[in-house]
Structure 1
Amino acid sequence: MNTHESPESVPTVNIRLWRADAIVLFDWLMSTDLNAVPITHPAQKQALADLLGRFEWACDTDVTASTEEEIAAAQEEVARDMGW
């Protein structure tokens, strides 16, 4: 979210994530250099940074404070459910 806009002033979308997906995404975002992620528009990098910020602000502390073992288990769980 742009820092000059308040959360109440922009339209929002609620997304329910499988807990394992949230752990995997949060861990990936925390360990990824967003400057190295291929993008076609600067807004894509900003949207990823916004997603990380929302995880840090809104997620249950058990997601953002996951241990290495919990992250590995979540990765296995998500990979097992890929279907492709």
Structure 2
Amino acid sequence: MAGDDDIPTVNVRLWRADAIVLYDWLASTDLNTVPITHPAQKQALTDLWSRFEWAADDDVMGCSPEEIAAAREEVAKDMGW
């Protein structure tokens, strides 16, 4: 089995507010209820959540409810739809 260093990766830069909103949603969502068309989609969401836990540490995971609310407002203000 290949080690993690052998697996091709992609770096994605996120606005901190987006990361907070996504992490909070992933942490509070039952992924068994998210509509998917292939099991790999659920696994990819699980992998994304685990990467947030590993990479974002307390900067995203340790946000207070007030910080989460502020991040939601910031992300939603320029949606335009």
TM-score, with structure 2 as normaliser: 0.93
Give distance in 2, aligned partners of 1:83 and 1:15: 23
Moved over 2 A (4+): none
Structure 1: which 5+ residue stretches go unaligned? none
Task: Provide the residue aligned with 1:62 in structure 2.
Answer: 59
How many residue pairs get aligned? The number is 81
Whether 1:48 aligns to 2:55 is no
Q: In the TM superposition, what are the counterparts of 1:1-80 in structure 2 within 5 Å?
A: 5-80=2-77
TM-score, with structure 1 as normaliser: 0.90
Give distance in 2, aligned partners of 1:22 and 1:72: 13
Deviations 1:35-80 (A, max 9, x none): 0000000000000000000000011422111100000000000000
Deviations 1:12-38 (A, max 9, x none): 000000000000000000000000000
- Shifted more, 54-63 versus 42-51: the winner is 54-63
Per-residue deviation, 1:5: 4.7
Look up the SS of the partner of 1:35 in the other structure.
helix
Per-residue deviation, 1:7: 1.7
Higher percent of residues as helix: 2
Identity across matched positions, percent: 72
